[in-house]
Amino acid sequence: MTAQELLSELEERFAAIDARLDGAGAEDRDALRQEIVGFFRETESAIEGLTALKERIRGLVDRYKALPAPPPAAAQPQTIVSDHIGSSTYVERGWTAIASGDPQRAVKELERALELAPNDPHAESLLGWAQMLREQYDDALMTYYKVLMRDPNNPLARVNLGYICLKKGIFGEAIEHLSRAIRQESDRKAQIYAHLYMGMLYLEREMYDDARSFFGRTLELGPGMLEAWWETGRAYYLQGRLDEAARAWRTGHQANRFNLWGERCGKALAQLEAGEPVSVGA
């Protein structure tokens, strides 16, 4: 059974129990309790087993790295010329597009960077990020697999794998990836986004205080991260604390009203002040 088949089977069992709960009465309580407890334990056991297997796979990677290197091949004509200096301009443009909320432009800039410097890990990591923000999750995963084959601890790959898991509702694995990105100190950019995504994860679970704590840390590390102001306002709004939501969105809008997230904060603020419902989907 593949991992996807296992997940599908668990989802079917969940749906079956969920349907039974809709029409359940007092006489069904004991049977349903036993079934739910058993289902929880089986799922927890499966997660523990998969986690242990993942650690064993890391051992395979270490053993592979210890294999003798192949003898040097005969010199071949150089067919690929890397222009890292020219590429860096497009990498910077790609990052700027990501930060300003324009992943479509980011993909174009970063693909051009990789044409000039094939297999550049930083450009590939940012390309995966832009693909992810465009919800091209399969393309992003393939890009990150290439990065992690060369650098298993790449912080940007880790933080964005965490985001993909968040979007797929795989919260345990998302927390694992994001926590690793938060603990590392080599990439500040990855730390900032790891805090932002961790806040979004806790917001998804309706743990509002924890979510705002991570958004606050995001703004400490990156004061220009206006998306954190949008998310902070969203956390307050969903909790029914409208005055605090207005303050958060006002701050984000005033920081830069031409930024995508600053503009979004401004629209939400205007709706709130007009007494209209605010669309606060992720």
On average, the pLDDT of the chain sits at 84
Question: Quick check: helix, strand or coil at residue 280?
Answer: coil
d(CA 218, CA 191): 8
**Does residue 211 register a pLDDT over 90?**
yes
Confidence of residue 70 (pLDDT cuts 50, 70, 90): low
Confidence of residue 56 (pLDDT cuts 50, 70, 90): confident
Confidence of residue 276 (pLDDT cuts 50, 70, 90): very high
Confidence of residue 182 (pLDDT cuts 50, 70, 90): very high
The predicted structure's pLDDT at residue 83: 55
Ordered by where they begin, the domains of the chain are 84-243 (1.25.40.10)
Q: Which residue from 167, 168, 170, 143 is spatially nearest to 156, judged by alpha carbons?
A: 143
**Does residue 88 register a pLDDT over 70?**
yes
**Does residue 243 register a pLDDT over 80?**
yes
What is the sign, positive or negative, of the torsion defined by CA atoms of 135, 138, 141, 142? negative
Whole-Å CA distances, 29 to 10, 43, 207, 212? 21, 21, 28, 37
d(CA 206, CA 200): 10
- pLDDT tens column, 116-143: 888 888 888 889 889 988 988 888 878 8
Are 102 and 133 spatial neighbours (Cβ–Cβ below 8 Å)? no
The predicted structure's pLDDT at residue 238: 95
d(CA 50, CA 251): 44
